[in-house]
Amino acid sequence: MPRAIDTFVNVNMGSIPVPEWLVRVAADYFKRSDETFKDISIPELIEAMDGAGIEKCIISTDAEHPSEHVLAFPRANPERFVLSVSLDPRNGMKAIRALETMVRDEPVVLARITPFMVGAIPPNEKEYYPVYSKCIELDLPIAINTGIPGPPMPGKCQDPMHLDEVCVFFPELKVVMAHGADPWWDVAIRLMIKYRNLYLQTSAYAPRYFPPQLIQFMNTRGQDKIMFASDHPVLSFERCVKEAAALDLREGVLDKFLYSNAERLFFGERQAHALQ
């Protein structure tokens, strides 16, 4: 069984407000509404992880209103769980201070923003720039959703091309395109070739549906760029790892995709100034 790090996991979907569009996506798109909208216990998640070879998870919570249920995971098992925190850049300094507090007090390895959920504001707009600056200061990668979202919500704001000028203006910023980049895979790949600190994670995108150009990129110039994520329980650990293992990848590429790329980006040494 291959080893893996899952870079996008949810454990409190049963205790957060659930918008109608998310119910529709879970029921109609992923066919997993019963499995999705529930809170997952620590023993339950560890059992599922062990069954699929998942060694570590990045678990999601909100920066301004963190879930105590989520925070309990890394506190109980720091060797297996770390955190990502979602931000609304429209909240300005309130969001920045919440991010600083979370990074100081908890094992946060990733910030997140979902453009279609924050007023459909593209990530090259002014609201995002203070967050980018703070992430550089904290030596913290940030994930930005790209690709047309599954829900019936605006999608133009998630065109990867919006990240082009972001990467130019903030060359030190480590940006991860989340949830794939469909239908703009070619654009996302070209941007990753262009920018050293631009990556992609495959959250909520089943490996069996990866497009041929992504497989080609993973086997060649993109071996160090693509990271595994399930968005569990939206997609199960077991299904995603099994389908990933069946991909037509060159020797050594599967381990980079499932484990090594995430280990390097999220679990390596943070810069000293970021931890002071």
Cβ atoms of 9 and 202 closer than 8 Å: no
In-domain check, residue 275? no
In-domain check, residue 273? no
What are the pLDDT digits (tens) for 67-103?
A: 999 999 999 999 999 999 999 999 999 999 999 999 9
Q: Among 7-16, 148-157, 232-241, 252-261, name the one with the lowest average pLDDT.
A: 7-16
Angstrom distance (rounded) from CA 80 to CA 7: 12
In-domain check, residue 74? yes
Q: What is the mean pLDDT of the chain?
A: 92
Neighbours of 232 (CB within 10 A): 29
What are the pLDDT digits (tens) for 93-123?
A: 999 999 999 999 999 999 999 999 999 999 9
In-domain check, residue 62? yes
In-domain check, residue 276? no
In-domain check, residue 164? yes
In-domain check, residue 69? yes
In-domain check, residue 143? yes
Predicted TM-score (pTM) above 0.95: no
Q: Which amino acid is at 161?
A: M
Number of domains in the chain: 1
The contacts of residue 175 (CB under 8 Å, 6+ apart) are 141, 142, 143, 144, 163, 166, 167, 195, 197, 198, 199
At 154, the pLDDT band (50, 70, 90 cuts) reads very high
Domain that holds residue 52: 4-268
The contacts of residue 164 (CB under 8 Å, 6+ apart) are 124, 191, 194
Q: How high is the pLDDT of residue 21? A: 62
Query: Which residues make beta-bridge pairs with 82?
Result: 58
Q: How high is the pLDDT of residue 32? A: 55
The contacts of residue 31 (CB under 8 Å, 6+ apart) are none
Q: For residue 142, what is the domain's CATH number?
A: 3.20.20.140
Q: Is the pLDDT of residue 235 over 80?
A: yes
